[in-house]
Amino acid sequence: MQITGDLKMVDVVQHDIQLLAVIQRLNIPLGFRERTVKEVCNINNVDLDFFLHIANSFHDKEFLDFKKFRNFPVDWIIQYLMNAHRCYVDYRIPEIERQIKNFEKQVDINEKNIALLLDFFRKYIREFNSHIEQEEKSVFPYILELSDILKSDNFDSPRRDKLPSISEFHDEHSSIEETLFDLKSILLKYLPPPVTNCLYNNLIFDIFRLERDLLDHAELEENVLYPLVKEMENELHSKQNLR
């Protein structure tokens, strides 16, 4: 199903609950009533076209194509990605950590496996934070600067000399969902549940959801944002050569 502006927002979410994350990251509050996608976007000052492109890309991978995002300012994509970062760092990851930590209270003092898991996960959090810091402190500012230079018409500004290129970032862009995949394997295959099944399952569900979410996130970075930046770099080079 392709999502269009005249569908009711509530129907869209009922159809694909994953889109709730998209809605939250565009700062659209719930309480849609009978409003259409178009109306909800208007009320919340979200560009309808941008919403439809993001939502359809996540809903149906066939739709995803960076060329369709050429007409939107890159700041919008970056803002979206940063909102997602906040959600992971402030809520999703601490929640998983909290659940593992909670297991400690419920098991025998001799049970060492929980400590092992917690240690594993905390190492992951450090890895994750430095991934996000690299993006927010180096990659995104670089892209914003590039976009400013292109808009300014002053292509020979001295700043550009120290700018790196997006391919360097792309090569280093590590897959932060791999550790979650491992965690899931360990919980499902190798660790006998130390606590009641219900709690244990809940943890596994949360890890699974976060893993999927991060895969989508990385896809937006690698298959939409980075190719767009590549084009911007080429544009800058050709404009500089014209002088």
Partner 1 sequence: MAKLVIAESSHVIALGLLSLVKTFQDVENVRIVHEEEECCSVIEEFSPDILLINTSFLKLETMHRMLKIKKDEAIVVHIFNTPLPIGAPMEQVSILDSKDILLNKFDTILKRVRNLSDELDTEELSPREKDILKEVAIGLTNKEIAEKTFISTHTVISHRKNITRKLGIKTVSGLTVYAILNNIIQMDDIS
Where on the chain is the footprint of Fe ion (CB under 5 A)? 135, 221
Cβ-proximal residues to 14 (8 Å cutoff; 6+ apart), any chain: none
Of 10-18, 46-54, 181-189, 230-238: span binding partner 1 (CB under 8 A)? 181-189
Which listed option, partner 1, Fe ion, none, makes contact with residue 56 (CB within 5 to 8 Å by class)? Answer: none
The CB-of-56 to partner 1 minimum distance in angstroms stands at: 23
Which listed option, partner 1, Fe ion, none, makes contact with residue 229 (CB within 5 to 8 Å by class)? Answer: none
Q: By CB under 8 A, is residue 113 in contact with partner 1? A: yes
Of 8-16, 26-34, 101-109, 114-122: span binding partner 1 (CB under 8 A)? 114-122
Q: Which of residues 117-146 bind partner 1 (CB under 8 A)?
A: 117, 120, 123-124
Residue found under tokens 């230079």: 149
> How many residues interact with partner 1 (rule CB under 8 A)?
17
Q: By CB under 8 A, is residue 183 in contact with partner 1? A: yes
Say how far apart CA 198 and CA 5 lie, in whole Å: 40
Of 9-17, 67-75, 95-103, 173-181: span binding partner 1 (CB under 8 A)? 173-181
Which listed option, partner 1, Fe ion, none, makes contact with residue 64 (CB within 5 to 8 Å by class)? Answer: none
Helix axes 226-242, 74-87, angle to 10 degrees: 150
Q: Would you tell me which residues interact with partner 1 (CB under 8 A)?
A: 112-113, 116-117, 120, 123-124, 178-179, 181-183, 185-186, 189-191
